[in-house]
Structure 1
Amino acid sequence: MALRQPQFSKEEFARLGDEIYERDIYPQLQPGSAGKIVAVDISTGAWEIDDDEISACNRLEKRYPNAQIWIVRVGSRYVRRFGASRSQKRKTT
């Protein structure tokens, strides 16, 4: 399998992904979409939505094998969080 080469710098990739999401995709999302993953091909503007990124990306790549995919979680600035969440209280001894 040949590796795809990035067509954009990291900064341009992120800018285009955010721009397409905000302008074209977010207005179309249903109220129950919060927390779902949106995979966007920044070259074509095509997108898929699912509960997990693998499913969304696989469907998008099936349609566009050379997709340059930007991933965003609906209603969040982050796709994933690492470490303890704020809701977890730190135990003291």
Structure 2
Amino acid sequence: MKQDAQDLVIYDGHCNFCCRQIDHLRRLDGRNRLRFVSLHDPEVATNYPDLSFEQLMEQMWLIPAAGGRYGGADAVRYLSRTLPVLWPLAPLLHFPGTMPL
């Protein structure tokens, strides 16, 4: 898959917990649909100036190749529809009221 066709996941590359979660996502992404970039990479500030440093530090962001922005729980919901291994979780994640838990 071309790099341009991949959805972009922006995460805090200085956060050990975040990096472990990204390692899990890399393993789950068997079809190479995702590209991962630390929010500290200059590419992020250059290509996504609409996302402030504060917004980026607050939660993970997912930017689909087709456009749009998903942050935090919405990014997790998007991933549940994108990664086949997470499809069994999709109904639970999309049920009203479950994500605030």
TM-score normalised by L of structure 2: 0.29
Decide which structure has greater helix share. Answer: 2
TM-score normalised by L of structure 1: 0.30
Q: Which has the larger radius of gyration?
A: 1
